[in-house]
Amino acid sequence: MVGTIGIFALPMRKDTECCAYVKRFIEGRVFSVLMISTISLNALCMVLQTNYDIRNYLFLIFEVVEVLFMSVYCFEFCIKLYVDPLGYWKNGYNLLNVVIIIILSVPFYMRKLFGRHYPYLNIGEGIQSLRILKLIPYSRGIRTLITALGQTICTVASVMTLLFLMMFIFAILGFCLFGSTDAGDLNNWGNLAVAFFTLFSLTTVDGWTDLQKDLDERGFTLSRAFTIFFILLGSFVFLSMFVGVMIIHTEDSIKKFEKELEDERHVAVLQEKQNILKKQQEEVSRLMQKGLVEGFKKTLRHSDPMVLEDFCTTLPFIDIYLSTLDNQDNTISKYIEIEDDLGLPKLRGKGKEGEHSRQRKSIERHW
Amino acid sequence: MKVIGSEAVTRADAVRSRLIDTFSLIDHFRGLSQAVPRHNLREFLDPARQRKLMLGDQHQLVRFSIRPGHNRILFAQRQQCRLRVRCNRWAPISLWAGWVLRKRIFINFVNCLIFLNTIFLMVEIELVNTTNVRMLPIMMALEVGSWFILFIFILEIVLFWLYNFFLFWKSAWNLFDFFVTTLSLLPEIVVLVGVTGESVWLQLLRICRVLRSLKLFARFRQIRVIILALVRALKTMTFLLVLLLIFFYIFALTGVYFFESYSRSDIQDLEYQMYFTDVPNSLVTVFILFTLDHWYALLQDAWRVPALSKAFSSLYVILWLLLGSIIFRNIIVAMMVTNFQAIRNELSEEATHSEMQHKASIFKRQIIKSSGHITPQTSYHSASSLTGDMSQSENLVKTSVPKDLSTPQEYRCELNCLPFRPKYSSTFFLSFSHLPISDSPGLVDWETHVHQNLHGLMEMDQDERVVWPRDSLFRYFELLEKLQYNIEERKQLQEFAVKALINLKDN
């Protein structure tokens, strides 16, 4: 068995076959179909439970089904933990599962600890709807979408922080101007929280004319400038900036993501091509022997024309190739000059250089 | 054909594969075939050359080379060659139907009819309730006109079926056409049969006649492009919409529970009390909040109930506004913009293709100019220049064939580049500094420049074919392979040299 998870080293698992079997089961189709159907059924039951009559009528069924769902989720948690005790916690979706199991048990404990008439009981029941988030790991499309968009979270957070700071400044300003005195608009600017709400309402430009009317009735002359200035800044500038920043980041992250997929596929295809080429080479080297090649060469005549369209036999290619080689030759010659200047030991592969230039010359001659 | 150590140089292998492929060495060594294809497919398709070939030895092999082309063979062209059409006992109706469908006059005629249909409908709606006797002939005329238009539409569909029944169902636009036409056919038949008393059928009739105007969408290329772009954008956003639906579900269900005390409250004249009673209502409310409409009024109304916890309800609303309305909507906008840009790039493929060709031809001219640069300076590699080898160069003839082979032309020999070739001294020390800088605004080095333009050069449409003598070609491939090995060795030597330089500098 696993034994104790020591601080220094995890002892080797002795049940590798069982572990492998369970792992195969988890990654198989049966398990995912089971989980998806369970979660969908759970979502449906929760919708039905909101109706008081149905809940009253089918009370027992709902209780039983609830226990069933809870057991399925715990079973999933246990076997996933069994397969990989330490690596389980590194995956974000597994953490989500744990959080949802904790949420599942919240209403039960609330009822136990605080009694039946605790006013916040419906809050506990409300957050049960988060169970449907368990569906996300089983859908590849949504997972890729979240991975692709995950990069934009940083941008979103920074823009939000900036917006919050700006609203903070204006909230304090608005409170001092409009909500501090008794003759002021205490309803909308009385304390900081309400001021924040008012400003948020101005940012989303919903019902702001009513708020402005309230201020006008109280006779504040500066209020119009204040409101209009804030709407321009918050709604027009900030929210549009939000859109712009998101557009750029979405484009970048999606492009990067697709490029990664493309590269993976490319590498796989290239690998296959290499294998095929290697097999071909082996076959050829088996067939070709020196005598055969020489014999074949003797059969070639100069007056036989061969018309080719391949790029590697066209004149532009030869031009480009020889120019590139010349460029490389120049680099070498420059280096050798440096050698001479510095008085370094001569590192010229004389034989190779000579042969190289000889072959180049013969190519040029054959034009 | 040596191998450096035990590693095979991939480029050398590629060259060898090319050699084997061109000369069909494997077949030759296995004794499978002694003949080598001497002619290309184009020589065979060219009528003049084909006649000459057929008059000569008819048992020649032809080499096929596959290149992705930009002209596609239309179904109409293909159909003309089919035996079923050519050897038919009766007249080929399908050919005639295809010809009619492609005729510009017919297409314009049907477009005009669609417009006319809309106009008839507008006039009919105006006149439908008049009791003016003089209007009656006009009403009759409009009715007859509508029937006639419907017949023409049905005829068009039948023509397409005659042309190719199965191809009809494969295109989504045709399906849309078919659907709209049958939908407008149904009420007509019902009215004709005699259920004239029911006014609801008459209304349906008029509605379906309006739908015929939707056929316009399929006809004009610009509208098609826009609709296709829209559909593609929506397709890529399916998972985003699924995620949005999941969030709708979560917030709707949570809203029912969070606002329970508000829905059940006894306080009089609460404006939005019905908004969170059960899941359907809650869904609509969540959508209302998503569109940022009267959210503050709703919240303030909910606060009037003391049993409702202010913190949780405001947290709910603010969270949903931030997440749904601000973040999600902007993500949707961002994805739409990205998709439209991608679609626009694809649609302007033709433009980018021709631009790439233009760049490639400029590059080619550059190469020719730079290679023709005669530098009297000799550098360290004083390899002998090949001024004397002009005789060999006559064997290499560059032929460029015009794109359409329908008009047989003489092969043009471009000998103007030939005089430059033999003066190809082995170093171009100066020529690179004389490279035209005008084409590359930033002075990129040679290799980068080549890499940027190589792809365009390879894809050039200009059909360039080079005539090689056979033994020269074999020798060329052999030398190229050996060159690869030597280049590899030289690269290794260079690395050693650099290391030595660095070591000596350090010491």
Contacts of A310 in chain B (CB under 8 A): 18, 22, 65
Residue A37 has pLDDT above 90, yes or no: yes
CA-based nearest distance A304→chain B, Å: 6
Same domain, B353 and B233: yes
- Residue found by looking up tokens 């055969």 in the block: A292
Residues 181-210 of A with CB under 8 A from B: 197, 200-201, 204-207
Note whether B426 contacts A361, CB cutoff 8 Å. Answer: yes
Same domain, B331 and B271: yes
- Sign of the Cα pseudo-torsion (B393, B394, B396, B400, in order): positive
Contacts of A361 in chain B (CB under 8 A): 383-384, 386, 426
Within a domain: B290: yes
Tokens of B94: 């399908």
Tens digit of each residue's pLDDT (9 = 90 or more) over B54-102: 887 777 677 676 666 656 677 777 878 888 778 878 888 888 888 888 8
Give the orientation angle of helix A29-49 with respect to helix B238-258, to 10 degrees. 40
Question: Are the beta carbons of A287 and B29 closer than 8 angstroms?
Answer: yes
Question: Are the beta carbons of B175 and B105 closer than 8 angstroms?
Answer: no
Same domain, B200 and B108: yes
Contacts of B43 in chain A (CB under 8 A): 307
| Closest by CA position to B477, among listed A270, A278, A297 | A297
Three-class SS of A221-263: CCHHHHHHHHHHHHHHHHHHHHHHHHHHHHHHHHHHHHHHHHH
Residue A312 has pLDDT above 80, yes or no: no
pLDDT at A67: 93
Closest Cβ–Cβ partner in B13, B487, B504 for A281: B13
Residue type present at position B100: V
Note whether B379 contacts A330, CB cutoff 8 Å. Answer: yes
Contacts of B296 in chain A (CB under 8 A): 197, 201, 206-207
Whole-number percent of chain B with pLDDT over 70: 75
Residue B398 has pLDDT above 60, yes or no: no
Q: Which segments within B41-142 are labelled E, that is strand?
A: 62-63
Same domain, B349 and B260: yes
Note whether A201 contacts B296, CB cutoff 8 Å. Answer: yes
Tens digit of each residue's pLDDT (9 = 90 or more) over B432-459: 333 333 344 344 677 777 777 777 777 6
Same domain, B242 and B205: no
Same domain, B43 and B149: no
CA dist., res. B97 & res. B106, Å (int): 11
Within a domain: B366: no
Note whether B253 contacts A129, CB cutoff 8 Å. Answer: yes
Identify the residue among B466, B468, B496, B506 best suited for mutation to test binding to A, counting A beta carbons within 10 A and taking the highest.
B466
- Asked if B18 reaches chain A (Cβ–Cβ under 8 Å), the answer is yes
Q: What does DSSP assign to residue B456?
A: H
Same domain, B286 and B211: no
- Asked if A246 reaches chain B (Cβ–Cβ under 8 Å), the answer is yes
- CA angle (A112, A117, A123) in 5-degree steps: 80
Least confident of A232-246, B302-316, B330-344: B330-344
Please state the length of chain B.
507
Residue B419 has pLDDT above 50, yes or no: no
Note whether B334 contacts A251, CB cutoff 8 Å. Answer: yes
Closest Cβ–Cβ partner in B43, B331, B490 for A250: B331
Q: Rounded to 5, what percent of chain A is helix, strand, coil?
A: 80, 0, 20
What topology does CATH give the domain A152-259? Helix Hairpins (1.10.287)
- CA angle (B239, B250, A247) in 5-degree steps: 40
Contacts of A313 in chain B (CB under 8 A): 466, 468, 473, 476
Q: Write down the mean pLDDT value for chain B.
A: 74
Q: Which residues are CB-contacts of B31 (< 8 A; sequence separation ≥ 6)?
A: none
pLDDT at A258: 80
What topology does CATH give the domain A16-138? Four Helix Bundle (Hemerythrin (Met), subunit A) (1.20.120)
Same domain, B200 and B246: no
Residue A307 has pLDDT above 80, yes or no: no
Tokens of A295: 């014999």
CATH number for B161: 1.20.120.350
Tens digit of each residue's pLDDT (9 = 90 or more) over A235-246: 999 888 888 888
Same domain, B285 and B196: no
* SS3 state at A199: helix
Tokens of A100: 């949802």
Residue A6 has pLDDT above 90, yes or no: no
Other C-beta atoms closer than 10 Å to the C-beta of A271 total 10
Residue type present at position B264: R
- Asked if A8 reaches chain B (Cβ–Cβ under 8 Å), the answer is no
CA-based nearest distance A221→chain B, Å: 24
Residues 346-365 of B with CB under 8 A from A: 364
Domain boundary among B301, B329, B360: B360
User: Which band of pLDDT confidence, cut at 50, 70 and 90, is reported for residue A41?
Assistant: very high
Q: Write down the mean pLDDT value for chain A.
A: 83
Closest Cβ–Cβ partner in B26, B371, B470 for A287: B26
How many independent structural domains does chain B possess? Answer: 3
Domain boundary among B162, B188, B219: B219
Residue A358 has pLDDT above 70, yes or no: no
CATH number for B319: 1.10.287.70
A158-170 exposure pattern, b = at least 16 Cβ within 10 A, e = fewer: ebeeebeebbeeb
| Closest by CA position to B295, among listed B304, B307, B286, B308 | B286
pLDDT at A45: 93
| Torsion angle in degrees (nearest 10) through CA of B186, B188, B189, B191 | 120
CA dist., res. A46 & res. A133, Å (int): 14
Task: Give Cα B340 distance to the centre of its chain.
Answer: 13
Least confident of A6-20, B218-232, B284-298, B326-340: A6-20
Note whether A320 contacts B299, CB cutoff 8 Å. Answer: no
Instruction: Output the CA–CA distances (angstroms, integers) from residue A40 to A21, A72, A288, B451, in the order listed.
Output: 27, 13, 65, 54
Residues 270-289 of A with CB under 8 A from B: 274, 277, 280-281, 283-284, 287-288
- Sign of the Cα pseudo-torsion (A163, A228, A209, B328, in order): negative
pLDDT at B490: 82
Whole-number percent of chain B with pLDDT over 90: 12
Cβ pairs bridging A and B (under 8 Å): 309
Same domain, B139 and B263: no
* SS3 state at B468: strand
Whole-number percent of chain A with pLDDT over 90: 29
Give the gyration radius of chain A's Cα atoms: 37
pLDDT greater at residue B375 or residue B289: B289
pLDDT at A350: 47
Q: Which helix (H) or strand (E) holds B400?
A: strand B397-401
Same domain, B265 and B322: yes
Domain boundary among B156, B184, B219: B219
Note whether B466 contacts A308, CB cutoff 8 Å. Answer: yes
Residue type present at position B413: C
CA dist., res. A234 & res. B447, Å (int): 51
Tokens of B313: 């309800």
Note whether A316 contacts B457, CB cutoff 8 Å. Answer: yes
Full domain range(s) for residue B191: 93-219
Q: Which residues are CB-contacts of B158 (< 8 A; sequence separation ≥ 6)?
A: none
Tens digit of each residue's pLDDT (9 = 90 or more) over A199-249: 999 999 988 998 888 888 887 778 889 999 999 999 999 888 888 888 888
CA dist., res. A292 & res. A280, Å (int): 18
Q: Which helix (H) or strand (E) holds A306?
A: strand A305-308
Same domain, B204 and B269: no
- CA angle (B2, B7, B13) in 5-degree steps: 65
Within a domain: B376: no
* Intervals of CATH 1.10.287.70 along chain A: 152-259
Instruction: Output the CA–CA distances (angstroms, integers) from residue B238 to A251, B235, B243, B332, B340, in the order listed.
Output: 17, 5, 9, 11, 15
The whole-model pTM stands at 0.64
Within a domain: B99: yes
pLDDT at B287: 95
Q: What does DSSP assign to residue B407?
A: S
- Asked if A140 reaches chain B (Cβ–Cβ under 8 Å), the answer is no
Instruction: Output the CA–CA distances (angstroms, integers) from residue A45 to A38, A109, A136, B191, B227, in the order listed.
Output: 10, 21, 19, 47, 39
CA dist., res. B94 & res. B169, Å (int): 16
Q: Average of pLDDT values for A143-155?
A: 82
Please state the length of chain A.
367
Question: Are the beta carbons of A25 and A33 closer than 8 angstroms?
Answer: no
Question: Are the beta carbons of A142 and B239 closer than 8 angstroms?
Answer: yes
Q: Average of pLDDT values for A170-174?
A: 91
